[in-house]
Amino acid sequence: MATVKVERTEDGYLATNDRGASVAIGDSSDIEGAFTPVELLLAALGGCEIVTVEPLTAQRGHRMVKLAATVSADKVATSKLGTITINYEVELPEGDDKAAEVLAKVAKRVHDSYCTVGNALKEPMKVEQVIST
């Protein structure tokens, strides 16, 4: 089970996991050093794809010199995003004429089926709320 605690702090909000990692959250893009919740969603999707694609291409003998993704989405209405776009930025290994083909196939499979975050965004799922006092 994945669990993250989000709490209000003196400076804003903080998300922390059980391993002690944390990230500052702000309620607007004006807050220095903090992600907005939408930015965290985009980071989760890009991170999920990259951390899945990279080891799979490397296991096939094609380690990219550079592998990054920029994830973007426009707000199309209050509390609603439009299409989310994941733009891969890649530098292929020199002399590896199969790397581009392997990367394209692996990235497509990851995007279509193996990224948990992407799958959660594509399929309706139940989200429950519990208020403890």
**What pLDDT, on a 0 to 100 scale, did the predictor assign at position 6?**
96
Residue 27: per-residue pLDDT: 84
What is the C-alpha to C-alpha distance for residues 21 and 4, in angstroms, rounded to an integer?
10
Residues 26 and 40 in one domain: no
Q: Which domain, by its residues, includes 107?
A: 36-122
Average pLDDT of adjacent 10-residue blocks, the chain of 133 residues: 92 94 88 91 97 96 96 93 96 96 97 95 92 94
CB contact set of 86 (below 8 Å; sequence gap of 6+): 45, 46, 49, 69, 70, 71, 111
Q: How far apart are CA 104 and CA 85, in angstroms?
A: 16
Same domain, 4 and 48: no
Amino acid 32: pLDDT: 84
Confidence (pLDDT) at 94: 95
17 lies in the same domain as 65: no
One domain, residues 50 and 107: yes
Residue 95, φ and ψ in degrees, nearest 5:
80, 5
Based on the fold, state whether residues 50 and 103 are members of the same structural domain.
Answer: yes
Total domains, the chain: 2
pTM: 0.91
Cα separation, 9 vs 33, in Å, equals 14
Give the per-residue pLDDT at 31. Answer: 81
Inside any domain, residue 131: no
DSSP 81-95: EEEEEEEEEEEPPTT
| 20 in the same domain as 51 | no
Tokens of 40: 């965290």
Tell me, yes or no, whether 68 and 23 share the same domain.
Answer: no
